[in-house]
Homo-oligomer: A and B are copies of this chain.
Amino acid sequence: MKQNKKPSRLSKAIVEMAKDMRSGDMVDEETYKKITSRHLGLKEKVDVETLTGDDIRAMREQAHMSQSVFAHYLNLTADYVSKLERGLKHPKGPALVLLNVIHRKGIETITG
């Protein structure tokens, strides 16, 4: 298991700077350093919440889509969506991240 080490003061500044520049779009892409896990205090924990079947169903109904249509946009099968909503399967990895994006920012993020 990895140690989540203390992020150094300089490293932390780099990350913040990179973030500002990137979002502000004021500096060209090549001027700032690459963000490595040395800079971020990367721990094992990922900032995604585990969504329950009810959560997923609520998201889908909020989007007013059938399982089939919802699955289509997520590049999944309707079959699998049904299983997710009933708690028979649990999304992990990239699928979980994708569902989190929809949950936080809406389905338009991927449809539009």
Task: Give residues in A with beta carbon < 8 Å to B.
Answer: 18, 22-23, 29, 32-37, 40, 42, 46, 48, 61-66, 68-69, 72-76, 91-98, 100-101, 105, 108-110
Contact = CB atoms under 8 A, between A and B. Distances in A.
A101 B108 contact: no
Given A29-B62, A46-B75, A108 B22 contact: yes
A69 B42 contact: yes
A108 B37 contact: no
Given A36-B66, A64-B29, A97 B110 contact: yes
A18 B96 contact: no
10 contacts: A18-B64, A29-B62, A34-B65, A35-B64, A37-B66, A40-B72, A48-B75, A75-B94, A91-B94, A95-B95
